[in-house]
Structure formats: C-alpha cells, structure tokens
Amino acid sequence: MAGRLQGKVIVITGASRGVGEACAIACAREGASLVLAAKTVAADPRLPGTLYDTAAAVEAAGGRALVVQFDARDAEQCTDVVEKAVAHFGRLDAVVNNAGAIFWAPLADWPQKKFDLVFGVNVRAAFAISRAAIPHLRAAGGGHVLMMSPPIHTTAAPGKGPYLVSKLGMTILAMAIDAEEKENGIAAHALWPVTGIRTAATVNLGMGEDAQWRTPDILADATVELLSRDPRASAFRAWLDEEVLADVGVTDLTKYRCDPDHEPSCMSIELVDPGWAARHGRS
C-alpha cells in the first residue's frame, strides 16, 4: 500500500537529531525520499545524533536518504542543499525549515555573535533554502514550504526578544511565499508546538523536564499531515501541532508524553502567546 508521501522528495534542515530526525523518519514511513541537511556528520558524546544516524533510520523505515552537510548560516551552502536534492532525486516537492538556534537573555546581555548566530540559522537560512527551492517546486507542479515557527502575537517577550523576532520572521516569510506562489501551486505554513519538546537542546539548556515535555513525534506527525495535503487546496496558516492533529480527528495525545503520568504544560505556546492556556482551559 502506497504511503501518503509516496514518490515525494523532501528537504529537511536540522535533520541530525530531535524534531528534524523525527520528521524525516515519519515522512519515510509514508514513502518519501529525504534530503537530510545539517552540520553534524561525526558523533559527539555531548550531543548525540548525526546525519548518518538519521539516514540509517530513514532507510530502516522504508525511505531513501541523501545526506548533505551544510552550515545554515552560509547562503551558498543553503542553495547547494537544494541543488543536490534535485540532482540526486530529480525533483523537489517540499522543504521543512527546521534548523534552529536558540539563546535567551535580556537584550542588554545578548552578545552580537549570539544575535548573528540566531538570525543566521533561523530566519536567514529559512529564506535562503526557500528561495532556492521555489523554482524547483514550481517545476514539480507545486509543493510545500513548512517553517517550524510560531503564530504571530504582539505581546512582550522579556528575555527572548531577538530569538522570537527571528522565529516570527520565519512565519512572515511563509505568509509571503504562500501569497506569492499560490498560482504556482505552492503552499506555505508555519508549525509550532503547544508544549515543550524534548530534544538535546531543551535538555542541555535546562528548559524543563519530562513532565513538561512531549516527544518530537507530535511535530513529526503534524508535519506529515500538512505535507500530505494538496498544496493547491491549502492556504497559509500558522498551525499549532495539536490543531493539525485535531483537524484529522486525533485528540488523544497521551502517546506523545515524555512522562506518561503527566499532561505537559503549555510552555511553548505561552512563550509567544501568554494567556493561551487560560483561554483554552489548560494549565
């Protein structure tokens, strides 16, 4: 039985671990061929996961994988990821801009190098990858651009201002792409978790604990749902992961808990929309 993404070629950035790895495996189970782009190709005991580990998992799930090492801050390397994808697989159907850098501090305490890193890996790389991909998505008759970025709100963000500007910039790029490329059959969306997601970054930065987190699989399953839709029948939306799954009738999310006995807090959506949990009757 063919999967929902059978024959599709998908570029995923930040694919060596965490959310990117989970998205790649989920797409492979649905028949996709994956172009796995990230910086890490050699094992590091401080940060588990490499592109080759993800490639092995993709192939075990029934997909095909192309590994492309790149520095997300380098625009030429971003273009190279897309060109290698098309040269190897002959087409391109979707891009998932997942690569990300995070740093939180009051504005006065942000080193310029951290600011440049966060903007380079987040919004600049998403721009460069998407710009390079659009001609190939047009040639394929349409496709998807997905940003791992949040809904847009205008509340204060003490300690997180530059980081959120970079992530919200990704959402605005998706809005523009969707409007500009609709006639070419290209749809763009943003996707953001309601709860914190357990990854090497959230663990290493001490951003919570298992009782507060879900696994990356919830974002991976939401990604599959969005990429499997007809892009010509889609319109931009800044989705929350729970909303995507509820849209297809999935409301029992217990399998995504890191701690099976505790429902995670809404820490991730509260970061960009304080008061969301109260409005939705959540803690």
Quickly count helices (H) and strands (E) in the chain: 11, 9
In this structure, the chain runs to a length of: 283
Nearby residues of 175 by Cβ (< 8 Å), 6 or more positions away: 188, 236
Q: What are phi and psi of 47, to 5 degrees?
A: -145, 90
What's at 215, amino acid-wise?
A: T
Query: From the centroid of its chain, how far is CA 248?
Result: 20
The first and second tokens of residue 262, run together, are 């505790």
| 256 a catalytic residue | no
8 A C-beta contact, residue 237 and residue 194: no
The first and second tokens of residue 231, run together, are 């892009």
8 A C-beta contact, residue 279 and residue 194: no
8 A C-beta contact, residue 272 and residue 151: yes
Q: What is the rounded distance in angstroms from the CA atom of residue 170 to the CA atom of residue 178?
A: 12
For the chain, the C-alpha Rg in angstroms (whole number) is 18
Nearby residues of 239 by Cβ (< 8 Å), 6 or more positions away: 189, 190, 191, 192, 222, 226
Three-state DSSP at 96 gives: strand
Q: What is the rounded distance in angstroms from the CA atom of residue 129 to the CA atom of residue 146?
A: 11
**Active-site option among 163, 192, 236, 276:** 163
- Residues annotated catalytic, as ranges: 163
